[in-house]
Amino acid sequence: MDKLVIEGGISLKGTVTVSGAKNSVLPLLAACLLTNERCRIKNVPNLRDVNTMIKILRSLGAQAEFSNGEVTVEAKSLKSHTADYKLVSTMRASFCVLGPLLGRLRKAKVSLPGGCIIGLRPVDLHLKGIMALGAKVEVQGGYIVVEAKELRGASMYLGGGFGSSVLATDNVMMAAVLAKGKTVIESAACEPEVVDLANFLNKMGAKIKGHGTPCIEIEGVRHLHGTDYHVIPDRIEAGTLVLAAAITQGDCVIKGAFKEHLGALLDKLNESGVKIEDADGGLRIKPRKTLKPVNFTTLPYPGFPTDMQAQVMSLMSVTPGISVITEKIYPDRFMHVAELHRMGANIMREGPHAIISGKKSLSGAPVMASDLRASAALVLASLVAKGRSEVSRIYHLDRGYENLELKFQKLGARIWREKE
Ligand code: UD1
């Protein structure tokens, strides 16, 4: 296992480029199962989760190769319709092979993803949508088994207690593209990654309209073909890099940080006083000494992303004053709070709220990463803390950030990887 060692207190300076979006690539790779022709996906980050998805595709009988930021998938014939527990349990997003397998083979057996450190993550909306298309669903030995003689387009409402679901929208969209007739998904997720998937499917010959809005319409087609596709930049990585510049009072250009994908985050950072300007192909963050505390609530897109909650908490921990964060997507996603305490942060947790009493500074400490975004929050806090920090269990970070420490090194940070 690796850890990151960070000596904090350096203002970051320079230019850095955001990698391709993990949350786009994973469903896009799954979507390659919908055709027997070759698909080529470009701008793919070299991440543990991407490699897990490639292993799943291979286990199903597809050929998949990854080199130089490009993945080529050819699913000429599939030898299995079962996505194994060993692989699915390591990455929840692998559940999104359910829709393509059902679309292509009319049957799928996918392990239930199981528990997750950020709380309960049910799949009822995925199943509701799949059943509306005419599939029979059963749970057998920890697996979801779905089967349909024929998939028929249908109208459905996919909103749940916490709003829309990204992967449920993806799964249903991928099954519906090869269904007979028209499907209408109401309360569909509007995230840019859902739009990216719909654009990819349309390039493969699907007929999808309305993606990016809460009402998606899909006219089923008989056949999809292979295509080439360039993945959008990762908006969560972009946001994390923007915050790294802000928290260290740095001066950085973040190439690939698209304003239109980061609206809610940039709005809060503007309110706090972070200086953000347009730059060639991205955003420039300029130094600003005093920031103001801000309150926010996480919501489905275009609301404030839950995947940025932990990182902004780190910024608020060093912003004098009181800020209140309300987590409405995963009310238990606060594992980073106890670790930030170890660095001297003053945060009180009250149900889905975290109340942060910002301090002038934090002090470096050994801390432990608990999940992907919590790890990023600890790295950000370490970049600004006085002294040396060690962030252990960074395999979480490696699931979703490509070469993050190299990017920070390029911006002047004292950060390196060591064996634990
Ligand atoms: C995706 C992202 C993840 C992000 C999350 C919320 C990927 C690969 N992952 O995960 O990084 O944190 O969106 O923005 O894109 N829910 C149900 N029933 C369901 C499905 C979800 O109640 O069947 C609930 C969840 O518990 C959660 C909310 O809906 O409270 C949103 O979850 P969802 O959008 O499904 O998250 P994922 O797609 O798994």
Phi-psi sector, 107: left (phi>0), alpha (psi -120 to 50), beta: beta
Q: How many residues does the chain have?
A: 420
Residues 175 and 278 in one domain: no
Q: What is the per-residue pLDDT across 232-251, written as a single tens digit (0 to 9) for each?
A: 999 999 999 999 999 999 99
The confidence score (pLDDT) of residue 120 equals 65
Of 166, 192, 220, the position where a domain reaches its end is 220
Pocket test for ligand 1, best of 92, 124, 156, 162 (most atoms within 8 A of CB): 162
Residues 102 and 159 in one domain: yes
Q: What is the per-residue pLDDT across 78-117, written as a single tens digit (0 to 9) for each?
A: 999 999 888 888 888 999 999 999 999 999 999 988 655 6
Exactly one of 39, 96, 116, 190 is catalytic; name it: 116
Residues 251 and 154 in one domain: no
The confidence score (pLDDT) of residue 117 equals 62
Does the pLDDT value for residue 215 go beyond 90?
yes
Closest C-alpha to 264, from 158, 192, 160, 350: 192
- Tell me which amino acid residue 109 is: K
The confidence score (pLDDT) of residue 323 equals 98
The confidence score (pLDDT) of residue 89 equals 87
What whole-number percentage of the chain has pLDDT above 70? 98
Pocket test for ligand 1, best of 130, 165, 174, 332 (most atoms within 8 A of CB): 165
Does the pLDDT value for residue 222 go beyond 60?
yes
At 302, the pLDDT band (50, 70, 90 cuts) reads: very high
Distance CA 390, CA 370 (A): 14
Does the pLDDT value for residue 200 go beyond 70?
yes
Residues 302 and 313 in one domain: yes
Residue 305 domain boundaries: 2-19+233-419
Domain count across the chain: 2
Phi-psi sector, 226: left (phi>0), alpha (psi -120 to 50), beta: beta
Residue 227 lies in a domain: no
109-112 long-range Cβ contacts below 8 angstroms, 24+ apart: 109/81, 109/82, 109/83, 109/140, 109/143, 109/144, 109/145, 109/146, 110/82, 110/83, 110/143, 110/144, 111/83, 111/84, 111/85, 111/87, 111/142, 111/143, 111/144, 112/88, 112/139, 112/142, 112/143, 112/144
Distance CA 332, CA 140 (A): 29
At 327, the pLDDT band (50, 70, 90 cuts) reads: very high
Residues 34 and 10 in one domain: no
Beta bridge partners of 109: 82, 145
Q: Is residue 252 annotated as a catalytic residue, yes or no?
A: no
Closest C-alpha to 261, from 310, 167, 194, 168: 194
Does ligand 1 have an atom closer than 6 angstroms to the CB of 193? yes
Residue 392 lies in a domain: yes
User: Coil, strand or helix: which one is 337?
Assistant: helix
Q: What is the per-residue pLDDT across 269-298, written as a single tens digit (0 to 9) for each?
A: 999 999 999 999 999 999 988 999 999 999
Does the pLDDT value for residue 119 go beyond 80?
no
Q: What is the per-residue pLDDT across 309-325, written as a single tens digit (0 to 9) for each?
A: 999 999 999 999 999 99
Distance CA 148, CA 134 (A): 6
Query: How is residue 96 written in tokens?
Result: 């999104």
Q: Please give the distance, rounded to the nearest whole angstrom, from the Cα atom of residue 166 to the centre of ligand 1.
A: 6
Find the mean pLDDT for residues 327-354.
Answer: 96
Does the pLDDT value for residue 388 go beyond 90?
yes
Residues 216 and 290 in one domain: no
The confidence score (pLDDT) of residue 113 equals 81
Of 220, 250, 265, the position where a domain reaches its end is 220
What whole-number percentage of the chain has pLDDT above 90? 92
pTM of the complete model: 0.97
Residue 96 lies in a domain: yes
Residue 228 lies in a domain: no
Residue 225 lies in a domain: no
The confidence score (pLDDT) of residue 31 equals 98
Average pLDDT over the chain reads 96
Residues 376 and 349 in one domain: yes
Does ligand 1 have an atom closer than 6 angstroms to the CB of 26? yes
Q: What is the per-residue pLDDT across 349-384, written as a single tens digit (0 to 9) for each?
A: 999 999 999 999 999 999 998 899 999 999 999 999
